[in-house]
Amino acid sequence: MSRYKRVLLKLSGEALAGDKKTGFDEATCITVAKQVMQLVADGVEVGVVIGGGNFWRGRTSETIDRTKADQIGMLATVMNCIYVSEIFRYVGMQTQILTPFECGSMAKLFSKDRANKYFEKGMVVFLAGGTGHPYFSTDTGVVLRAVELEADIILMAKAVDGVYDSDPRKNPEAKKYEEISMQETLDKKLAVMDLSATVLSLENKMPMLVFALEEEESIVRAVSGEFNGTKVIV
């Protein structure tokens, strides 16, 4: 029996792209799908939020209007969800994609009731399109949806294997935390998530597990508690 009834898994766009850093790496997505299938078989309700960085990030454009640039980013997250949702179906799960704006026949409009209905049916629910508003990120999107949907915890799958006191890619002496409070990540400016996501999670007491996606069975191990990432408490 899992310790958690409902979890929200956040995958960055880049994580889906593997070494290519752009587009999709199918093998990576299949590995994720197989792990999520284990969680679902164990009775865990899984929501998935995916970034868009493998295609586009609004803030990187210096020419076009930020609102329009962010709209492209939000649509990139929808493309990612359509792809990963199909990979999940390929391995044998049932899925639905919900968006905060109309996407015609490609997805359904998000509501808490609708998401709950799909969870009850044992489906994995993809929460695409971020918050639906520019100037936000999918980190804020995942915290917002986790709070709204009363998830027990967020599973933050990253390229790094936890929260460090400084950037481990720049400082070989960087120390990894086993556990840290969300407030401390803010005070120490550790930038685990952006500011709006961090504050939303603090205000609404939404905890998080941070771990490396590429470590074997990392998603399953995060849920079972045998993981070597960082628990961010609130």
Contacts with ligand UDP by CB under 6 A lie at: 12-14, 51-53, 57-59, 69-70, 73-74, 76-77, 130-131, 133-134, 136-141
Q: Is 130 annotated as a binding residue?
A: no
Q: Is 10 annotated as a binding residue?
A: yes
* Distance of closest approach, residue 180 Cβ to ligand UDP, in angstroms: 21
Backbone region of residue 198 per phi and psi (left: phi > 0; alpha: psi in -120 to 50; beta: other values): alpha
Report the candidate in 25, 22, 83 with the shortest Cα–Cα distance to residue 53. Answer: 22
State the Cα–Cα distance between residues 155 and 193, nearest whole angstrom.
13
**Cβ closest to ligand UDP, residue 133 vs residue 221:** 133
**Cβ closest to ligand UDP, residue 40 vs residue 128:** 128
Whole-number Cα distances in Å, 202 to 176, 186, 195, 198, 199: 21, 10, 10, 6, 5
Quickly count: other Cβ atoms within 10 Å of residue 61's Cβ.
Answer: 15
Question: Which residue's Cβ lies closest to ligand UDP?
Answer: 51
State the Cα–Cα distance between residues 48 and 35, nearest whole angstrom.
13
* Distance of closest approach, residue 202 Cβ to ligand UDP, in angstroms: 18
**Cβ closest to ligand UDP, residue 45 vs residue 139:** 139
State the Cα–Cα distance between residues 7 and 46, nearest whole angstrom.
5
* Distance of closest approach, residue 3 Cβ to ligand UDP, in angstroms: 26
Q: Is 126 annotated as a binding residue?
A: no
DSSP state of 12: -
* Distance of closest approach, residue 127 Cβ to ligand UDP, in angstroms: 11
Which residues does the annotation place in the binding site for UMP? Answer: 52, 70, 131-138
Which residues does the annotation place in the binding site for ATP? Answer: 10-13, 53, 57, 164, 167
